[in-house]
Structure 1
Amino acid sequence: MSAIGKLIDTIKQKLASRFLRNLGWLGLSELFIRISRLAATIVLARLLSKYDYGLAALVLTTNEFVNVFTQNGIWDKLIQSDESDLKQLCQTAYCLNWIVCGALFITQCLISVPVAWFYKDNQIILPICIMALVYLMIPISLVQASLTQRENRLHVMALANGLQVSIDNILTIILAFCGLGMWAIVLPKVIVGPVWVIVHYFNNPWRPSRQFTLVNWQEIVRFGRSVLGVKLMNTLRNNLDYLIAGRFLGVEALGIYYFAFNAGLGISMSAINAVDSALFPHLCAARSDPAQFKERYFSSLKTIAWIVFPLVLLQSFFAPIYVPIIFGQKWLPAIPILILICLSAIPRPFANAASRVLWALDKPDWDLRWNMFFTTFFAIALLIGVNWNIIGVAAAVLIAHAIALPLYSLWVTRNISKVMLKPSEVQP
């Protein structure tokens, strides 16, 4: 066979991989999302003040901390569970979701006042409460969405996410031109909530019964508490820099940082999230076969490297050129911050892949211990970095991720066989 023929066969085999097909669907969705988000970011950068950006960052950060409790492991348990337990777990999960999301709606409305007091700005109370309305929509389709991911039908997830975020960004552009300030960022996230619900509801046949049940809730909670702990640590880390910058450096400085984060890391995180969504069900499907499981994991690491390294390095290199041209001269101070934060994306997907290995092998508690350590380390780095203003915060983000995440990825990679075959002999 000729070299060209072998190359064609190799490409066909790669395209036949369900993981890569799913990654392709999610990547296509993220492409549409990024195009619309880029347009929204350009418009917001030119029409909103740094103060408006800062207010929006405070509202969205508060929502992120409450919203993380919707990522409580119920979804992930339905993906990871055995087929024989699935029917009962779905009904229990549906009931649990309504309890959790109802409580979150009330909680977010209540905490809006102390948050406004902490940041000394009452303008954020109403938008925080308005954003809480999304929690009353989520439970309608949350079980269907998790079953869709379990079945590896990620084209449905790609459609739901792509439509939701793209419409969000288009509405943001329209409202920004209407002069709504921070509301141009906040309101669309509530308006598009039903889009995600409708897509998942009509693309999965599962429907809840009228019976309220919490049978086997302990099994969901046992798995979910560690997953929720990991998500809490992730959310805390993802927003610690906002909290510290807003508190110690002011709302305007936070606005510069928030712009740099979204114009820089936002693009890279889209690719990282696409890989993350495709990888977990891909690994869970092979967890009963150690050889296949390891092959899928190591193959995914190569795919991640081919995607992340070129994307991040190109974006960082061209940042001094495209930022003033696309976003305007007023954002020139954000360029070094953008580059530092963007470079911190390189080790993130490898650490995420290591986490998904432990989740698939029913060891989310090990991942939780690691995340508690890393969050503490990250917080200390930020508190040191804030002494050098916003640039110090960005440098702390890069240094913390560059030191800690490769060590974690290496530990999981070197011990994957022991975790699968003789977990009692390995201590995290």
Structure 2
Amino acid sequence: MKRQGTLGSAGWSALDYWTQQIAALLVFIVVGNIIGPAAVGVMTMGLLAMTLMMTLLLDGFSDALIQRETIDAEHFDTTFWILLGLGTLAGFALAASAWPLAALFAAPSLRHVMPLLAICLPFVAITATYHGLLQRELQFRTLAIRTLISQVFGFATAVVLSRRGFGADSLVAYYLVARILEAVLVMPVSGIWPGLQVSRTAAASIVAFGRHRVGNQLLGFVVMQVDRFSAGLFLSAASVGFYSLAERISSAMINGFSGVVGRVAFPVFSARQTDTKAFLETLRDFLSGVAIIALPVFVGLAVTSREIVGTLLNARWAPSAPLLAIVALSGIAHSSNYLLTAAINARGRPDIPVRYSVVIMAARLACSLPAAWLGGLVAIAWANLVVTSLSAPLVVAFVRVQIPGVGRIVATAALPAVGAVLVMAIATLLVGMLLAGQPFAILLVAKIAAGMIVYPAALYLLAPKDLIRRAASLVRRR
């Protein structure tokens, strides 16, 4: 297969990720306006369990296909059958956990929701293997087209069912249709079919690399989902719905941006893992480019949170706005963490992300659970932001031995954008004050327009040469 350039790969990868994130977000917004926060909260609790099982399948063992210098049919077949076996077992485990979790969260409807969600997992396993193979070859166009088709059908199904009174089951249908179609479409378009060339040698190699990635994924699950779990454990289903909506909007931007970059960066870094100079130059360029985009995106999301919620959702969802303003800022730290994790994995050290993820997980648990019990939703959001912000220097500390000078690289990468984003934030807040009392939609458009004008101008004035050089470097990168 012919590899695409980094910029082209990033574009198609962005389309792939954004299609998934936007479709999921739109489903929850459109359907959420119909079925209400409590029903969305129940679905969120069910998704917690499904997402936990999915961590065994996504970006773990399949990443071994990306990281290896060479692969053959034996490695592909072995990976496929390992993942399909895990996906089938995970499906049975998810279905079996329905009644216990329904009792834990005091949500009886989970008893029939979770067995239905369990059907998704074998199809997720099939998709994961092909995803790793196509990602290795930077074939993000193929992945993006598949995702677009499956998400459109899933979205349409959910909207139709919600309007016919199916409640949370309409969201279940969205996931079923999307996951099944993704698997059905990716196999024929890849042109590769699984065989029976399974070997212990290939399995040992895949498991040796993938076990660290799976371990890191499991820890990452706790880090990313502990807030929803805490809300479900101590607060009402409606509270889970409010927090879930805020996090879902924020996560759509985090996954749609940082996730895309990390996904493209991993194979690019892997190709340079033995050339330290080229590796560090590539890391520096990625970090600089990411900072220039990530800072205005997440700060902008925070300063327009009230207008976003007021424009997209009905009045029942108003409590989500202040939560969104807080959790959106955590995306800044995630943007550098995603890149550094991709970089250290590309160096063949997936054990290091496991180590720092353990520390981050412990901190999130220590802060989120008491915050939910004692302070409620806003306290959970602040605990999220504090721990996530502190995770950035922690990750740097863990990877500095394997990536020389990483602390200086990270510190200097964001400097050109910091001043510009402060100017942008002030400008958008002033626009909000000047137009106070206007409808949410007008305020949102005005604030976005102000940010889009002020930020590039301020960035150009503060660091025009650096901006142009970084952009040109990423365009040329292969």
Give TM-score, length-normalised by structure 1: 0.88
Write the letter of the residue equivalent to 1:190: L
Asked whether the equivalents of residues 45 and 328 of structure 1 are also in contact (C-alpha less than 8 Å), the reply is no
Q: 1:195 aligns with which of 181, 197, 212?
A: 181
Asked whether the equivalents of residues 371 and 380 of structure 2 are also in contact (C-alpha less than 8 Å), the reply is yes
| Percentage identity across paired residues of the two chains | 19
- In the TM superposition, 1:240-251 aligns within 5 A as 240-251=226-237
Instruction: Tell me whether 1:402 sits opposite 2:402 in the alignment.
Output: no
2 CA distance for matches of 1:330 and 1:221?
47
Q: 1:412 aligns with which of 388, 391, 399?
A: 399
Q: 1:320 aligns with which of 286, 306, 313?
A: 306
**Any idea what the Cα deviations from partners look like across 1:59-78, whole Å, max 9, x if unmatched?**
11111111111137221111
Instruction: Tell me whether 1:127 sits opposite 2:113 in the alignment.
Output: yes
Instruction: Tell me whether 1:365 sits opposite 2:351 in the alignment.
Output: yes
Asked whether the equivalents of residues 77 and 196 of structure 2 are also in contact (C-alpha less than 8 Å), the reply is no
Of residues 138-147 and 191-200 in structure 1, the stretch that sits farther from structure 2 once superposed is 138-147
Question: Which residue in the other structure is 1:298 paired with?
Answer: 284
2 CA distance for matches of 1:340 and 1:412?
28
1 CA distance for matches of 2:392 and 2:162?
38
Question: Which residue in the other structure is 1:206 paired with?
Answer: 192
Shift of 1:413: 5.5
Shift of 1:31: 4.6
Asked whether the equivalents of residues 73 and 220 of structure 1 are also in contact (C-alpha less than 8 Å), the reply is no
Shift of 1:405: 2.1
- In the TM superposition, 1:358-397 aligns within 5 A as 358-386=344-372, 387-397=374-384
Write the letter of the residue equivalent to 2:33: R
Instruction: Tell me whether 1:156 sits opposite 2:156 in the alignment.
Output: no
**Any idea what the Cα deviations from partners look like across 1:363-386, whole Å, max 9, x if unmatched?**
111111111111001111112322
TM-aligned CA distance change 1:120 to 1:78, over 3 Å = same
Shift of 1:343: 0.8
Shift of 1:362: 1.0
Shift of 1:54: 1.1
Provide structure 1 residue ranges, at least 5 long, that are not aligned to the other structure.
Answer: 1-15, 420-428
1 CA distance for matches of 2:333 and 2:193?
40
Asked whether the equivalents of residues 95 and 214 of structure 1 are also in contact (C-alpha less than 8 Å), the reply is no
Provide structure 2 residue ranges, at least 5 long, that are not aligned to the other structure.
Answer: 407-478
Question: Which residue in the other structure is 1:46 paired with?
Answer: 33
**SS of the residue 2:116 aligns to:** helix
1 CA distance for matches of 2:251 and 2:41?
17
Instruction: Tell me whether 1:56 sits opposite 2:30 in the alignment.
Output: no
1 CA distance for matches of 2:107 and 2:355?
36
**SS of the residue 2:284 aligns to:** helix
- In the TM superposition, 1:275-290 aligns within 5 A as 275-290=261-276
Asked whether the equivalents of residues 6 and 264 of structure 2 are also in contact (C-alpha less than 8 Å), the reply is yes
Shift of 1:338: 0.9
Shift of 1:87: 3.1
TM-aligned CA distance change 1:234 to 1:251, over 3 Å = same
Q: 2:11 aligns with which of 10, 24, 32?
A: 24
Of residues 306-315 and 197-206 in structure 1, the stretch that sits farther from structure 2 once superposed is 197-206
Instruction: Tell me whether 1:219 sits opposite 2:202 in the alignment.
Output: no
TM-aligned CA distance change 1:137 to 1:17, over 3 Å = closer
Question: Which residue in the other structure is 1:110 paired with?
Answer: 96
1 CA distance for matches of 2:311 and 2:347?
48
TM-aligned CA distance change 1:306 to 1:172, over 3 Å = farther
**SS of the residue 2:190 aligns to:** coil
TM-aligned CA distance change 1:244 to 1:161, over 3 Å = same
TM-aligned CA distance change 1:29 to 1:222, over 3 Å = closer
2 CA distance for matches of 1:140 and 1:388?
42
**SS of the residue 1:357 aligns to:** helix
**Any idea what the Cα deviations from partners look like across 1:195-241, whole Å, max 9, x if unmatched?**
21233212323322245544432221111111111000111111111
Write the letter of the residue equivalent to 2:40: Y
TM-aligned CA distance change 1:237 to 1:411, over 3 Å = closer
1 CA distance for matches of 2:22 and 2:60?
31
Write the letter of the residue equivalent to 2:12: W
TM-aligned CA distance change 1:413 to 1:238, over 3 Å = same
**SS of the residue 1:158 aligns to:** helix
Aligned residues: CA RMSD = 2.3
Asked whether the equivalents of residues 127 and 183 of structure 1 are also in contact (C-alpha less than 8 Å), the reply is yes
Shift of 1:38: 5.1
2 CA distance for matches of 1:259 and 1:400?
20
1 CA distance for matches of 2:365 and 2:63?
27
- Counting matched residue pairs gives 403
